[in-house]
A and B are shown apart, each in its own frame.
Chain A
């Protein structure tokens, strides 16, 4: 899938660039994109080190295990019996969900990546995304933040009388879009013929 997305985007951009006469901008953009990835990963590096370090302390102290017991019903609902509720993957997923709910966006990604590494370890067919991975990534592509800090800050900067008045609407919409995404993931999984044939 990502092969097609990646090549499709590059080819489409090049063809459009040629047609619109913006090929020079497209050419520069390719190198700028590569450079931006490095800048971004350097700023990501700090957050990843910080939160991975903190996570290790919480793991050793047993705090994350305790937290994941609170989330057990939710994890069961989302991942079914496929996920061991006491395993390291469940603990990292719990941290990711908590960080999202608390609005700690810069912690959600490191915890999410840690969870993916654990799910990768459990994946019997490492080249194909497991069901738990699909559910987890899909959940993270639907924003599940309780306080959308960026949107509120931008509203305030632009002179809103009540920057936080959008919160109820954001919660309703987040819930709807996350449910739709998860339902779609489930439905598509159920209809996947390769899975039924047991080739996965």
Chain B
């Protein structure tokens, strides 16, 4: 494991070296170009900030109101039919909506049930194979002039649903139990 961690920790500096080394080799003005590009980072950040405010305000309000617990109660029987254990259903519901919220649930589930238990493994696979869908859609389109995202969200949520069910099935198949 420590070997793998070294490898994944080395990726970022190595990528930086590769890009800069390639720049040096092709004799471009590396530092000036870097500053020029970095300046663009400022405008992009400012451009996505409004979308970020909208999505985080809505998500935080929803979490504080208890509406997500109600939603969990409503959807639990349906997801249970698909073979997802009741304990991980809150994670399935929160995962597409809130990144920090779902991390808290993952941490809770892994400390309560052992990471190598059935629930622990399903939790880990779910967390590792899905993304914070709403956040991604909000900031990616936030960088554009698009107002109608059309079929983006339905398609993305279809993927999430398949991912949740497949997590439970894959853990059952690969680890037994």
Contact = CB atoms under 8 A, between A and B. Distances in A.
Contacts of A5: 58, 134, 153
Contacts of B67: 12-13, 16
Contacts of A113: 44, 48, 139-140, 143
A102 B15 contact: yes
A149 B37 contact: no
Nearest to A20: B66
B87 to A, nearest CB: 15
B57 to A, nearest CB: 4
| Tier of interface size on chain A | 35 or more
Most B-side CB within 10 Å, residue of A41, A51, A154, A166:
A166
A120 B44 CA distance: 13
Nearest to A174: B129
A54 B19 contact: yes
A6 B58 contact: yes
Chain B: interface secondary structure? helix
A10 B12 CA distance: 39
B118 interface: no
Contacts of A33: 53, 56-61
B163 A176 contact: yes
B133 A120 contact: no
A57 interface: yes
Contact of B155 (A119, A149, A157, A188): A188
Interface string A24-53: 011011101110111011001101111111
Contacts of B139: 109, 113
B128 A170 contact: yes
Given A138-B155, A158-B107, A176-B166, 8 more contacts: A2-B149, A33-B57, A120-B143, A120-B144, A123-B146, A137-B140, A140-B140, A154-B103
10 contacts: A6-B58, A12-B62, A33-B61, A36-B60, A45-B41, A169-B170, A172-B166, A177-B129, A177-B130, A181-B162
